[in-house]
Amino acid sequence: MLIADGEFVGQEWCSFLRWKPIRQCVCLWENTRIEDELAQDLFTTLQPGQVRTLFKRTWVYGGWMHVVITLSPVGDRVIVASNLPVLDVLNTYRRR
């Protein structure tokens, strides 16, 4: 299992992890393309402490991943993509 922040990920890295096959849970930048949208444009009405997810797997960095988005108590957007089951994504990322 690899848990990584945004500066350590990209399409080449995520493709390598899938090829190995290594589970991954990665934080995305707000300007990351998730299918045809920027991650920052998803769930724009989200309030601090709320969590939203795209329940179907979504194409991110060349592969199908679950995407979970939350706002921290101070309003920072946290966007996490993973090949884990959707209900495990944030709990796994928080353990880093």
pLDDT, tens digit, for every residue of 63-81?
888 999 988 888 888 898 8
* Mean pLDDT of the residues in the chain: 83
Q: What is the structure's pLDDT at 13?
A: 76
Q: What is the structure's pLDDT at 67?
A: 92
Exposure b/e, 2-12, CB count within 10 A at least 16 = b = ebbeeeebeee
What's the whole-number mean pLDDT along residues 36-43?
87
